[in-house]
Amino acid sequence: MSERLVSPDAGNEESASEHALRPKSLSEFVGQQRVRDQISVLLQSAKTRGVSADHMLLSGPPGLGKTTLAFILAEELNAPIRITSGPAITHAGDLAAILSSLTENEILFLDEIHRLTRPAEELLYLAMEDFRVDVVVGKGPGATAIPLDLPKFTLVGATTRAGLLPPPLRDRFGFTAHMEFYEVDELSKIIERSAKLLEISIDGAATAEIAGRSRGTPRIANRLLRRVRDYALVKNVKAIDLASAQAALEMYEVDLLGLDRLDRAVLEALVVRFNGGPVGLSTLAIAVGEETETVEAVAEPFLVRSGLMARTARGRVATPAGFSHLGHKSPQGWSLFDSTDA
């Protein structure tokens, strides 16, 4: 399956462009007001006391700014930052090597922390609490554990699935930030800022149009802005207005709610072929020519979050909003009776 324009995950070629657009301080960071206020207090307290900040866990869906906040923390504390991820640490020894090379007050950003192996997790418990690790030398009865003291550091963990973290690890974080999806006006401000940095001339109506189709996710908003810029460049549009933004997004098959081709195919199959359901997930996947896992993991979450589709005990059903979005009338007597996760 080709890379989706509205995927919240970072693409292979987006790291450099994303890094260039990232805000450098909390005052530049748009949205997440409560999280910003909480982190600001934590940072000011740490700086006043002259100690490293408490370990922090950033939790939320992809593309909401967890990595950006980690870089901002390092900038605000004037501390170096080390970046790694759960999947990259295959053995506890890998983590021990990283921890032992940290400097005083350094920030260790651990992305996808929920994917750490169990031995690495257990090593992290001691490192977070007592700032030491026990390095085991040898094997069998002759093995000995050598305690290794670590400098004071701040662990910033990022996860899209906080429920997968074991309670002992979750409890060792001094602060947990829950990232929420962004409002359209917040995304508009992010797009305006990105447009200035990219030297794109765009009016307010076009900005709002892109924001409304960005699924509440800054990463998608910036990606759509770049695609609209490409369209304007090719079509020789000097200043992007509402009409050119709409034309570009329609060409890329991103509709008014941010649904792309796959999302609409799933919704249309549910509404048109199965009269709104209920229908089993595997049957729905066959109808759109995709793998069951693709429909469940890629298309379904946003359709459910948008209220266009629901999961019931008997299968997937289209909601009245789903029918309306495709220009169809919902069947009489529709209800979500017996609606439980399937």
**Is 217 designated active site?**
no
**Is 24 designated active site?**
no
**Beta pairing partners, 145:** 136
> Residues 4, 22, 67, 263: which is the catalytic one?
67
**Is 48 designated active site?**
no
CA distance linking residue 249 with residue 255, whole number of Å:
7
**Is 219 designated active site?**
yes
> Residues 215, 219, 229, 311: which is the catalytic one?
219
CB-based burial, 160-191: b 16+ in 10 Å, e otherwise: bebeebeeebbebbebbbebebbebebbbebb
Determine how many CB atoms are found less than 10 A away from the CB of residue 286: 14
> Residues 4, 22, 66, 264: which is the catalytic one?
66
> Residues 160, 207, 217, 319: which is the catalytic one?
160
> Residues 22, 111, 215, 316: which is the catalytic one?
111
Sequence-separated contacts (24+) of 51-55 with Cβ below 8 Å? 51/152, 52/79, 52/104, 52/105, 52/152, 52/153, 52/154, 53/77, 53/154, 54/154, 54/173, 54/174, 54/175, 55/128, 55/154, 55/155, 55/156, 55/157, 55/172, 55/173, 55/174, 55/175
Question: Tokens 């990606």 map to which residue?
Answer: 223
**Is 115 designated active site?**
no
Catalytic sites, residue numbers: 66-67, 111, 160, 219
